[in-house]
Chain A
């Protein structure tokens, strides 16, 4: 069975601070995919990134960066110089090669204050 843990329920920062959202996953499959989604107050899920289990390269996209560490089963997400528009709930998700059905973490609510 697979599991995704987002231990941080809510994070509150002041604009321009850097913030890291943690994601720890569990799976016995060797082939799997990890995702991050953003859910703003409107409710729509916004896809941010997908990473497969064979690619441990970290990725940077503008102010966003992701750190994938198979050794610790973690896929952490960092926002640099946070902005008010980053306020949202962020979900980490796992899809294993067998089921292709995503397992979501509980989500981390990020609040960025001006």
Chain B
């Protein structure tokens, strides 16, 4: 099946710094990518939907200035957590949707803010 990668898989950063997470579709073009956040023992919560070449659509309650999403190409979307704080520590998962509307999930990135 199609493969979606995320980098890094784990990151630890200090409070106040920014962290960038990459999501790549390796063998298909993804017109749409999704970013999810998952707190321990909880479900996946959709943060935003990003379409290639246009601004991301954020879900209610998600700060767009804090979670910057860029979808510059059909195979790459990035999520930047700006001025990270300990409460931003979470598991971030991306998914990519192909032209047939099949959706493939990345392996996730575990962010720890100290």
Q: Which residue of B lies closest to A43 (CB)?
A: B108
Contacts A100-B101, A101-B46, A102-B103 given: A47-B1 contact, CB under 8 Å? yes
Chain A residues with CB under 8 Å of B41's CB are 109
Contact of B44 among A91, A100, A109 (CB under 8 A): A91
Across chains A and B, the number of contacting residue pairs, with CB separation under 8 Å, is 35
Interface residue A36 (Cβ < 8 Å from any Cβ of B): no
Chain A residue, CB-CB nearest to B6: A44
Total count of chain A residues near the partner, CB < 8 A: 16
Inter-subunit contact B49/A45 (CB<8 Å): no
Q: Classify chain B: how many residues form its interface, as a range.
A: 10 to 19
Of the candidates B42, B97, B103, the one whose C-beta lies within 8 Å of that of A106 is B42
Q: Whole-angstrom distance from the CB of B106 to the nearest CB of chain A?
A: 8
Q: Name B residues whose Cβ lies closer than 8 Å to a Cβ of A.
A: 1, 32, 34, 41-44, 46, 49, 91, 93, 97, 101, 103-105, 107-108, 110
Q: Could you list which residues of chain A lie within 8 angstroms of chain B, going by C-beta atoms?
A: 37, 42-45, 47, 91, 95, 100-102, 104-107, 109
Secondary structure dominating the interface of A: loop
Complex Cα gap A102–B104 (Å): 11
Contact between A104 and B34, CB atoms less than 8 A apart:
no
Per the bound structure, the CA–CA distance linking A42 and B34 in Å amounts to 20
Task: Contacts A91-B43, A100-B32, A101-B46 known; list 7 others, CB within 8 Å.
Answer: A42-B107, A43-B107, A45-B93, A47-B104, A100-B101, A101-B49, A106-B43
